[in-house]
Structure 1
Amino acid sequence: MKNFQHLFASLLVLSITSCRSENKADITPVLPAEISIQIPSDTTALIPAEENTKTTENKVRKVKSSVRANSLVSLKEIYIDSIEFIGYNDDFDYFLLTGKKNKRAIDFFYDWQWKKNGAYDFKSGDIIEVKWKMDTFWVAGDGERADFHEWVIDAKKLNKN
């Protein structure tokens, strides 16, 4: 019986010491030396090997665009295109302005209140001029993954339907 009490006391002491909490002030967080943005390889142009910049976003100079399908576009450069307006779709994390160019459906992210601002209240079939740029957005539900998409800066109606 004495051995059983000794074994029980030893197990009790062992379990108490193994469950003790550490002082949080003693814990030093380990942070990565550099955080980089993951960019899908199918959207980026080739980057010269001698280029040595700190962030991935700085390395990317041109990307593919659905608006200008046969060429690469520069990040943050402003472009102007005419499209046939199809409609707005506000059902997603980013609001979409949808249109047609060269018989292809295209969409842009936008951030204006078209229901409150008559200047952006376009009707389906209107020919509009869009001023846009390729910019970064964060893919919803995908952690810290960045991607690129066309963002409308401004738009105006060209025809009088």
Structure 2
Amino acid sequence: MSTTRWLDDDEMGAWLNLAQILMAMPAALDRQLREDTGIPHAYYQILATLSAADNRCLRMTELARAVGTTPSRLSHAVASLQQRGWLERRACPSDKRGQLACLTDAGMAVLEAAAPGHVAEVRRLIFDHLTPEDVARLRAVTAKLLPALQP
């Protein structure tokens, strides 16, 4: 029987700080986007992810994975974004059963209008408090952690 590897004081302090950031960050980003643009952070993530994709389109399953949500939740969000004219669904040319979510020009305009405020908030919350060396370390540490979170 294995013994539990309890966190030492330094690990516990780091974990508690990280846990607080993980809890507070989504709400802070969502609040800024809703106040400034009227859209939730989840919608911003969808628009931003599609804007970076080839032809501004992704398969729905790929988009769900990229934004970290379930296909069901994504389907509801896509329906709302589609009603606003910010994206459209298309049949996947390589797989007739698949669907693509595609960012429209109107959706791109919304994203371009929202991005400056969002970036300013990310700077205010994170990067304004870090030196360039801190940023390099943060990038290195998060790159080490991300693979453990992949399904």
Instruction: State if a TM-score over 0.5 links the two structures.
Output: no
Greater share of residues in helix: 2
**Who wins on radius of gyration, i.e. which is larger?**
1
TM-score by length of 1: 0.28
TM-score by length of 2: 0.29
